[in-house]
Structure 1
Amino acid sequence: MEETRQISTGYLIKRFAPYFKKYRWVLVLDLFCAALTTICELVLPLIVRFITDKGMNDMASLSVKLILYVGLFYLILRLIDAAANYFMANIGHVMGARIETDMRRDLFEHLQKLSFSYYSNTKVGQIMARITSDLFDVTEFAHHCPEEFFIAALKITVSFVILANVNVTLTLIIFAVIPIMLLCSIWFNKRMRRAFKMGRVVTGDINAQVEDSLLGVRVVKSFANEAIEEEKFNEGNAGFLNIKKMMYRYMAGFQTMTRLFDGVMYIVVVVAGSLFMIGGKITPGDLMAYLLYVTTLLTSIRRVVEFTEQFQRGMTGIERFIEIMDEPLEIVDTPGAKKLKNVKGDIRFDHVGFMYSDDHTEVLSNIDLHVEPGKNIALIGPSGSGKSTLCNLIPRFYDVTSGRILIDGQDIKDLTLHSLRSEIGMVQQEVYLFAGSVFENIAYGLPGADKDAVETAAKQAGAHDFIMGLPEGYDTYVGERGVKLSGGQKQRISIARVFLKNPPILILDEATSALDNESERIVQQSLEKLTVGRTTFTIAHRLTTIRNADIILVLTEDGIVEQGTHRELMARGGIYHDLYQLYTEDSDLNEEF
């Protein structure tokens, strides 16, 4: 379970408040309407007091005309109240929804900028929970939070002023109960907030577990492990139930406390008010007004109590939103970064070292390498030797921890990320296709590309023929992650995507290692076309596919231990020679190099 450290409410509100800036006039109008509805509600006890005192002191002055005027006046107030309430319920809620939308946009934009290391250490289910369900409650919170507390403060203040003018002592006795209620509320609120936060964390864990199980459903079924997955889910589900029990226990205690204080305030007014009335210090109309104002106050307090659950949900959502927004951006454009233009593809590794920030494991050390434009560089070596890491440093998916990487003589840290990555194409072992059509997935390489450009790229990748054989051709839905296509088909679509992008620098990360022999042959032909005229880094699994590379690098834990052409390395009789001999002797070799 994630860390449940609680951020102070004041800090959360301070961070959330700027989202009201765009809608400040809507908020002002909403609070004005809230004031109107409050005034309408507070006028009724005064009307009742006026009529009661008139009736008991001078019945003759209580004419039909006066009663009708009073009734008409109150009816007008109720019409104003209805119009104001409509605005609050409609436009006020829309304001809250817009704020939620703005927050979700900012959160998604920030997530797009976070580095690979963040995603390596964070469950996707937790991220999904934060960007969806955690922000659902913000709509109600953004609308009702200022509104409910403004109304409560207005009612308490106005009621206190009116009642103090009638009888200060009785008013102080009644209002002395409110601070005690507030202290109890604070105590319960802190515990409710903690429970809600834990609930959100557990919900994220359940989402992550369900996502993991459903995406891996083929593995689950192939091993007949449905029962294990059900057991894992039931364990998380039971944990969620326990958190819910805790939440409802605190909520029940909170509501019981408020009901108890309701009774205390009523009995105080009845007993103390009656004693004051016997002593001639207040009139029956005053006592009636006190009872009505206490009812108004308690109604307001109950609304705040009912809103408390929503308030805590909203604060929890905001807290989890801020936790992601405060995640530092490890890889950003440096001040004054320039655009990479007219790329030739000359790449130099100058004493490059790299270690992961989370565990400080050194992966690369003192790498010196110069790749001339248009050259094809192949990298081989055991798993964990840093082949993929070395390639991932070029588009700055990670930043070097020492040394520098130059493209056409320019330090990549001095270039804008967008321009740098726009000039680099990648074909990876694990192809990711988005849920959509074949056309949309190829066009992803160059947003806005027309049909002719997409078809040309598909033909270059050797994908056009099989695409035309699909039920709806380029409009065929590929399924989630391209599940409706074979591995070779998905890989050819990913290659077409890079053909469409037409980058001068290319990275092939074991692009054929997961394919069968026939698919590998077809894909390899496409890759050979793709690499022509481009500076290419090829991470190789099958050593026969890199024989024609301009330079072959052998990477181990000690760095680059051998480099040269296939013929040079074979003649040297070193590590590459031994690996190649082993591979060609056993074409079913399972160990990855």
Structure 2
Amino acid sequence: MRIHAESTWTPPPRQHDQPPPQLRRIVRLFRPYRGRLTVVGLLVGASSLVSVASPFLLKEILDTAIPQGRTGLLTLLALGMIATAVVTSVFGVLQTLISTTVGQRVMHDLRTAVYAQLQRMPLAFFTRTRTGEVQSRIANDIGGMQATVTSTATSLVSNLTAVIATVVAMLALDWRLTIVSLILLPVFVWISRRVGRERKRITTQRQKQMAAMAATVTESLSVSGILLGRTMGRADSLTKSFADESERLVDLEVRASMAGRWRMSTIGIVMAAMPALIYWAAGLALQTGGPSISLGTLVAFVSLQQGLFRPAVSLLSTGVQIQTSLALFQRIFEYLDLPVDITEPAEPTRLEKIRGEIRFEGVDFHYDAKNGPTLDGVELTVPAGGSLAVVGPTGSGKSTLSYLVPRLYDVTGGRVTLDGVDVRDLDFETLARGVGVVSQETYLFHASVADNLRFAKPDATDEEIEAAARAAQIHDHIASLPDGYDTLVGERGYRFSGGEKQRLAIARTILRDPPVLILDEATSALDTRTEHAVQQAIDALSAGRTTITIAHRLSTVRDADQIVVLESGRIAERGTHAELLARDGRYAALVRRDAELTPTVAP
């Protein structure tokens, strides 16, 4: 496989993860909403133009209306300033509504895209990646981008437009004072870029630490984790380990919050002191005999300069935020760029009616090229409606062989066919409809019994659900529960015993009614009496269907049409139960060992 990881999978660096292409990808996320963004841009532009009109109205009040005692003009100018404030506020609310809506839609698109991408990943990815890491990418990383995608774009356009409009207005009032006001701007831009790079680096470390904490919580606070921790007496050490993880996160959060804080504060202090510098420059010009500046012009200019302070600082902060958010986008794009090994062909074959013949033709499989083959040259044919049992020691490749049929893995050599068609050429719908799997790891959702069964067939009637449960020998138990089929199974089904969960899983597969059944240790968690009852249901269900049974207990495979013994990924023996016993080889040895072992009882 092409995915390599330890407890947390980290992809290799890619060229497209560098900032310029990444910025282009971020921009492409907003393309579907460019119409709404255009409206936001128009509102921002109009709001900025309206807002800079207020200082000019103030100038006319101070230089003309008040000195000349023109009450009518004073009233109109005052009403104009009030109207300016009202229009600016209305435009601000509208642009916030539209931009927030667009941002949330972009986050929805990202969450959905990442989830859909993960649904397409091969099983090997999930066996090598901690669940908490996956959850952290969707929850913490995308959630951390909320401010960026909902307000940063609007803030950038709004503040940039406000800065440009204000500078133009300042130049119109007095170009000399404008130069004094903007002389330190390049230094401020340089400082903000350095702060942005520093925060991006810390943010990357912080998100990795949050993912590690999420993985710890997911593993140790699950039902299985709690049981293991308490029975092993590790509750205190797990708490200490979590506290250490949390302490590291505290340090990173403080560093992220304080990175460049003093430098950005210095910018704020300098820009806040600018009015004093403007007054000083105007007074100095007046004392040295330079061109005089009217009181209205001076007040209007300082008002504009103060109005420039907020969007200018916000613009610099937005630049820092964009650089910081690149770390989050990079982590999301890493998942979106994961190679999907198992894909549907461009022109897939669809089988309307599936007979169920399965062939393994020279099948090889490697989990890792560095290690030996898991399967080596397997040749098998299971006729439609026939039954195959695969037995062998642990690690011989039994489960892997069965997972090749529904394409949970793809062969690395040879091919697997369903009704003569390579499973890699079939569409996913045909495979899902044609092949049902009951694995030894039974998974149930935290939902009702009925909802768990309907996962196999959403439109199933109550009668169909009950019939499937009866076939799996679980109906009587469900009916005895206070809430019957509405009973919540609990997280991962922990309100039910192992045997009951297995029977629910079998009922779920029966409800789907697939032509091909794969039973991977499906009765391993059942006691002897229940195993016998369920085996009868499976035998009845298997009539006319192709069944591949992976078995540890050999008592469940005696009646199979064909039994195959795997050793180190190769077929060591094949034949019927009677034929293999007569040879007194590996299968006969397994039968003798099985007879000596006391069956594991699961209530």
The correspondence of residues 32-47 of structure 1 with structure 2, limited to 5 A, is 32-47=42-57
1:358-384 deviation digits (Å, cap 9, x = unpaired): 755521111111111112111111222
- Tell me which amino acid in the other structure corresponds to 1:451: D
- The one-letter amino acid paired with 1:571 is A
Q: What residue is the counterpart of 1:534 in the other structure? A: 545
Displacement after TM superposition at 1:108 (Å): 1.5
* Aligned counterpart in structure 2 of residue 188 of structure 1, from 190, 195, 198: 195
Q: Is the 8 A contact 1:353 1:403 kept in 2?
A: yes
Separation in 1, partners of 2:544, 2:324: 57
One of 283, 304, 308 as aligned partner of 1:274: 283
Aligned to 2:39: 29
Bigger mean CA offset, 312-321 vs 201-210? 312-321
User: Secondary structure of 2:221's match?
Assistant: helix
Q: CA deviation at 1:503?
A: 0.6
Cα deviation 1:47-78 (Å, max 9, x = unaligned): 222333337xx922x41111101011222222
The answer to whether the 8 A contact 2:156-2:318 is kept is no
Name the counterpart of 1:481.
Answer: 492
C-alpha distance in 1 between matches for 2:528 and 2:193 = 68
Residues 43/277 of structure 1: CA separation in 2 closer, same or farther (3 Å cut):
farther
Return 117-126 or 502-511, whichever deviates more: 117-126
Give 2:354's aligned residue: 343
- Comparing 288-297 with 427-436, greater Cα deviation is found at 288-297
Counterpart for residue 267 of structure 2: 258
Give the aligned partner of residue 201 of structure 1.
Answer: 208
SS at match of 1:134: helix
Whether 1:154 aligns to 2:165 is no
Q: Distance in 2 between matches of 1:305 and 1:474?
A: 59
Residue 17 (1) aligns with residue 27 (2): yes
Return the TM-score normalized by structure 1: 0.93
The 5 Å alignment of 1:465-544 reads: 465-544=476-555
Alpha-carbon distance, 1:553 to partner: 1.0
Identity within the alignment, %:
30
Which residue of 449, 453, 457 corresponds with 2:464?
Answer: 453
> Which shows bigger deviation, 167-176 or 465-474?
167-176
More moved, 448-457 vs 163-172 = 163-172
CA distance in 1, matches of 2:27, 2:372: 41
Deviation at 1:345, TM superposition (A): 1.3
Is 1:382 aligned to 2:393, yes or no? yes
Give deviations 1:331-354, integer Å, cap 9, x for gaps.
Answer: 111121111231111111111111
Unaligned runs of 5+ in 1: none
Equivalent in 559, 571, 574 of residue 570 of structure 2:
559
**Which residue is 1:223 aligned to?**
232
Q: Could you tell me which amino acid in structure 2 is paired with residue 27 of structure 1? A: L
* 2:178 equivalent in structure 1: 171
Kindly provide the amino acid, as one letter, of the partner of residue 258 in structure 1.
I
On the 8 A contact 2:200/2:325 being kept in 1, the answer is: no
1:397 corresponds to which residue? 408
**Mapped partners of 2:374, 2:263: distance in 1:** 55
Q: Residue type matched to 2:456 in 1?
A: G
Matches within 5 A, 1:221-370: 221-263=230-272, 265-278=274-287, 279-280=290-291, 282-304=293-315, 307=318, 311=322, 314-357=325-368, 361-370=372-381
4+ residue runs over 4 A deviation: 1-6, 305-314, 357-361
Residue 449 of structure 1 aligns to a residue whose secondary structure is coil
Matches within 5 A, 1:102-117: 102-117=109-124
The whole-number CA distance in structure 2 between the counterparts of 1:242 and 1:523 is: 56
Q: How does 1:68-147 map to 2 (within 5 A)?
A: 68-147=75-154
| Conservation of the 8 A alpha-carbon contact between 2:193 and 2:319 | no
Which residue does 1:49 correspond to in 2?
Answer: 59
2:374 partner SS: strand
Q: Secondary structure at the match of 1:236?
A: helix
Classify 1:277/1:375 alpha carbon distance in 2 versus 1 (closer, same or farther; 3 Å).
farther
2:278 corresponds to which letter in structure 1? Answer: V
Deviation for aligned residue 1:163: 2.4
CA contact (8 A) 1:166 1:282 kept: no
Relative to structure 1, the CA distance from residue 367 to residue 308 in structure 2 (aligned partners, 3 Å threshold; closer, same or farther) is: same
Q: Distance in 1 between matches of 2:587 and 2:543?
A: 25
- Residue identity matched to 1:59: P
CA contact 1:140–1:310 (8 Å) conserved in 2: no
Cα shift readout 1:166-222 (whole Å, capped 9, x = no counterpart) = 433432332231111111101000111121222111111111101100111112122
Partner Cα separation in structure 2 for residue 557 and residue 321 of structure 1? 39
Name which of structure 1's ranges 465-474 and 130-139 shifts more when overlaid on structure 2.
130-139
Structure 2 segments unaligned to the other structure (5+ residues): 1-7
Q: In the comparison of the two structures, how many residue pairs are matched?
A: 587
**How many Å separate the matches in 2 of 1:176 and 1:339?**
70
Letter in 2 for 1:485: F
One-letter amino acid matched to 1:221 = R
Query: Shift of residue 411 of structure 1?
Result: 1.1
- Contact 1:99/1:139 (<8 A) preserved: no
Distance 1:36 1:336, change over 3 A: same
Given that 2:389 and 2:562 are in contact with CA atoms closer than 8 Å, whether structure 1 keeps it comes out as yes
Using a 3 Å threshold, how does the CA distance of structure 1 residues 521 and 253 change in structure 2: closer, same or farther?
farther
User: How far is the alpha carbon of 1:311 from its aligned partner?
Assistant: 4.2
User: 2:320, 2:127 → 1: CA distance?
Assistant: 34
1:224 Cα shift? Answer: 2.2
Cα drift, residue 119 of structure 1: 1.2
Q: In 2 relative to 1, CA 42–2 (structure 1 residues): closer, same or farther, beyond 3 Å?
A: farther
**How far off is 1:532 after superposition?**
2.0
Q: Which residue identity does 1:119 align to in structure 2?
A: F
Q: 1:360 to 1:416 in 2, by over 3 A?
A: farther
Once the 2 structures are TM-superposed, how far is the Cα of residue 463 of structure 1 from its aligned partner?
1.6
**Once structures 1 and 2 are overlaid, which stretch shifts more, 299-308 or 21-30?**
299-308
1:15 maps to amino acid:
R
Q: Which residue of 1 aligns with 2:3?
A: none
Shift of 1:243: 1.2
CA contact (8 A) 2:99 2:154 kept: no
- For 1:37, the aligned partner's letter is S
Aligned to 2:474: 463
Structure 1 359/83 Cα, relative in aligned 2: closer, same or farther at 3 Å? farther
Structure 2 CA distance, aligned partners of 1:497 and 1:589?
A: 24
CA contact (8 A) 2:54 2:84 kept: no
Task: Tell me if the contact between 1:30 and 1:147 (Cα under 8 Å) persists in the aligned partners.
Answer: yes
Q: What amino acid maps onto 1:271 in structure 2?
A: W
Q: Aligned to 1:59, what secondary structure does the other structure show?
A: coil
Q: Distance in 1 between matches of 2:301 and 2:520?
A: 79
- SS of 1:132's partner is helix
Q: Give the secondary-structure state (helix, strand or coil) at the position aligned to 1:102.
A: helix
> What amino acid sits opposite 1:439 in the alignment?
A
Partner of 1:435: 446
Note if contact 1:495-1:526 (Cα within 8 Å) is conserved in structure 2: no
- Aligned-pair CA distance for 1:262: 1.9
The more displaced of 493-502 and 285-294 is 285-294
